[in-house]
Structure 1
């Protein structure tokens, strides 16, 4: 994380969304919106790096889109997709081939027969009817569901890129479920835990927030020594570790709090706004 360059002014501030940049109700506070916009005016680029899929970012265009420059781009799906929110175009997709995804889902559902399964792809979500929807009523959700197809995942089309596999069983505790899914998965994917109860989020090998953020920065000539990153959950740890300064919000998972270079106020107290505002604006 921290390096000898840690005190240098960053060229880029990267932030997770849920539990970090967004408040607990999924909204963006006026203060956070003000500071996030002001950073661009101060010569500091910003990018969101989120587990959310492309379809669930459109209502946040004031934060992650709305201009025809780097600020219209979001890294989403835990690094599976690079998405231009302004143009609503998936620029990059990194994930499983559909046949591989179908095989993995089949193995996991045999191991967890009461679970529901879904996949996030470059063309939206495909989900089994048993997959529980816990986001009804949250900001942006009810428009995002227009890109959801209910089907048996054995029917998944062959011309998709599967960015993320989702397995959810609400009867399981988080730690036990993640541990058992990890054992079943082996080295066939990367299991990310973002805090949702009874949910395992699986990316293809080598696909993480950190890998995609590093590649995105390299394309723009931005070295890790010039990047600050904010997060709250274990799926943010590789990104916080890669950045020169990894900052945990006060409400973060205990593992993230222990590993981060620094801490800021909680998401409901606009921590991701106040921390750079005091240091950069």
Structure 2
């Protein structure tokens, strides 16, 4: 998004060398993003597997030196998520939701059509957040 990449969406050799040198010197390298951990493959490729990513607004920490090993997950309790859904629906009728989990994303039929995942389950948020919903056992982020 322009914070590390050049205008042509690449990382300079100098930047990659600096990341490697920092790690070799014992300095921990972190990338912090609101994006989900499932999108970190492209970051890992750009930074050539250096560093750790704090993703999903702090809900997940993933090791970029591996194939996406999740080092830490701070899930949202399903009951709390349902409370937020109900409160927002009451305050702003017509609001639609996506439910991000460690296993992927699911969303409501009215969810805006950007970044749609063909493997996602499409249902109302209350169903997606139910304990027996697809991805049961997967933490809600």
**TM-score normalised over the length of structure 2:** 0.73
SS in 1 for 2:110: coil
Q: Equivalent of 1:80, from 55, 59, 75?
A: 59
Q: What are the equivalent positions in structure 2 for 1:160-199 lying under 5 Å apart?
A: 160-163=138-141
SS in 2 for 1:20: coil
Residues 1:61 and 2:44 aligned together: yes
SS in 2 for 1:92: strand
Q: Equivalent of 1:110, from 87, 90, 93?
A: 90
Q: CA RMSD in A?
A: 2.9
Q: What are the equivalent positions in structure 2 for 1:12-27 lying under 5 Å apart?
A: 18-22=1-5, 27=9
SS in 1 for 2:97: strand
- Over 3 Å counting, the alpha-carbon distance change for 1:99 and 1:23 in structure 2 is farther
Question: Structure 2: any 5+ residue segments left out of the alignment?
Answer: 132-136
- Over 3 Å counting, the alpha-carbon distance change for 1:160 and 1:135 in structure 2 is closer
SS in 2 for 1:57: helix
The answer to whether the Cα contact below 8 Å between 1:65 and 1:84 also exists between their aligned partners in 2 is no
CA drift of 1:147 comes to 5.9
CA drift of 1:122 comes to 1.7
Greater fraction helix = 1
The answer to whether the Cα contact below 8 Å between 1:116 and 1:130 also exists between their aligned partners in 2 is yes
- How many residues are matched? 133
**TM-score normalised over the length of structure 1:** 0.40
Residues 1:93 and 2:93 aligned together: no
| Larger RCO (CA within 8 A; separation ≥ 6) | 1
Q: Equivalent of 2:23, from 37, 40, 54?
A: 40
Greater fraction strand = 1
CA drift of 1:121 comes to 1.6
SS in 2 for 1:36: helix
Question: Structure 1: any 5+ residue segments left out of the alignment?
Answer: 1-17, 137-144, 164-281
Counterparts of 1:110 and 1:64 in 2: how far apart (Å)?
Answer: 43
- Over 3 Å counting, the alpha-carbon distance change for 1:135 and 1:94 in structure 2 is same
Counterparts of 2:61 and 2:48 in 1: how far apart (Å)?
Answer: 12
The answer to whether the Cα contact below 8 Å between 2:34 and 2:56 also exists between their aligned partners in 1 is yes
CA drift of 1:41 comes to 3.8
Counterparts of 2:7 and 2:81 in 1: how far apart (Å)?
Answer: 32
